[in-house]
Structures are given as structure tokens and as C-alpha cells.
A and B are shown apart, each in its own frame.
Chain A
Amino acid sequence: GAGVSQSPSNKVTEKGKDVELRCDPISGHTALYWYRQSLGQGLEFLIYFQGNSAPDKSGLPSDRFSAERTGGSVSTLTIQRTQQEDSAVYLCASSLSGGRTDTQYFGPGTRLTVL
């Protein structure tokens, strides 16, 4: 079946612009995670959605970052007034139920470059 998809695959933007990144999780997966991976760094947790529960936003680095998940499926991560330090690969993952032992399936990521 179809895996996690993300779009765009690459995004180049100018400092100060807003960007939207999209994630389509695996059908039927109720949990969705956003991470970012900077060069030479590990994956940094950003936000977690589970069903209809309030999202865990504790990893968002600043109020310029926000995310929503509509209808329990597609999610968008929005970065306002982008800064050069926002340049990274943004990875989305989904899991069946968000349980602590569930496998996370990752999308191919969006490579964001802020000039």
C-alpha cells in the first residue's frame, strides 16, 4: 500500500517568507509526528497528533511554527517568517495508534532551504 507522502520534496525560500509543508500519512494511521533533521543532527521532535486529542506541541521551537491536522488525516506544518536556521529536512511519520511500541513510518521528507 501507499506509504507516507510529503510535499514538496524541496523548498527554497527567502528569509522572512512563510512556508507550508504537507504530510499525507498512511491510511488508517491515527498518529502523526513531525520532526526536523539538520545537517549532522539527530531527528528533533516537533509535534505529535493522535486521533482527536489535543496535539503535543512541546517540541515546536518557536511561535513561528504551527501545525494542524484536518479530518484526522493530512497535516500541514507552517513556518512563518522563515529564518536561515530553519533550513533542515522536515520529516513526517505516522503510526497505527501512537502507542509507545508502534513502528513509525517516515515519509521522504521536505528539504527546506532558507536563503
Chain B
Amino acid sequence: RKEVEQDPGPFNVPEGATVAFNCTYSNSASQSFFWYRQDCRKEPKLLMSVYSSGNEDGRFTAQLNRASQYISLLIRDSKLSDSATYLCVVNGYPGNQFYFGTGTSLTVIP
């Protein structure tokens, strides 16, 4: 079983739509969770960390469900500039590794 699994998509949504991505992880001891964004042929960049209580940054909301071992990312009022691949990242406690999902592709259509 993969450490981190994501629906690869693609998700094609119109501007202004709300879209949600889920990600599951296998190591119940994992302590740190992130969403990274990767534009085509570019390096990944941190979008947001995911905290146990859930957190929001503008149009982006991240949630963590430890009992079910999944994290989610909600994007409201989608913009064309949100088109990218979103990577779910989980730390590999107790080691130093970070496990990346294969990414979910989002295209926002005018």
C-alpha cells in the first residue's frame, strides 16, 4: 500500500466553482501534513500546512481527519491561476522522510 494516495483527477472546473481534494495516508503515527502546489514543469511550493483543528488561508481550507487518516483541501471561488497539480505530503514518523502523493490535477476553465 502506498504511504499517500490521492485521486489523480483531472478535475476540470469552471471559474468560481468550489472544488475539494482528498488524500489518504497509511501511517497512523504521522504528525505533519501539508499541501504543496506544483505548476507544470516547475518545482513544488508549499501551499499550506494542515493542522489538527483545520485551517484556512483565504479561499483555501485544509482539514485533517486522524481517525480516518485523510486530509482534504477545499478551494472556493476557483481562479484560472489555481490551475496546477496539488500534492498531498505526509511525514514518515518516526523517520525523517516525507511522502508525497502523485498529485491531483486541477484545471480551472474560463
Contact surface of A with B, Cβ cutoff 8 Å: 33, 35, 40-45, 48, 50, 56, 58-59, 91, 98, 100-101, 103-104, 106-109
Contact = CB atoms under 8 A, between A and B. Distances in A.
Contact of B43 (A40, A41, A56, A91): A91
Contacts, number: 48
Contact of B87 (A42, A58, A98, A109): A42
Nearest to A41: B102
Given A58-B95, A59-B97, A109 B43 contact: yes
Contacts of B95: 56, 58
A28 B90 CA distance: 24
A56 B102 contact: no
Contact of B97 (A48, A101, A108): A48
A56 B96 CA distance: 8
B9 interface: no
A45 B103 contact: no
16 contacts: A45-B98, A45-B99, A45-B100, A48-B97, A56-B95, A56-B96, A91-B43, A91-B44, A98-B96, A100-B31, A100-B91, A101-B32, A103-B49, A108-B42, A108-B43, A109-B43
A56 B49 CA distance: 24
Contacts of B96: 48, 50, 56, 98
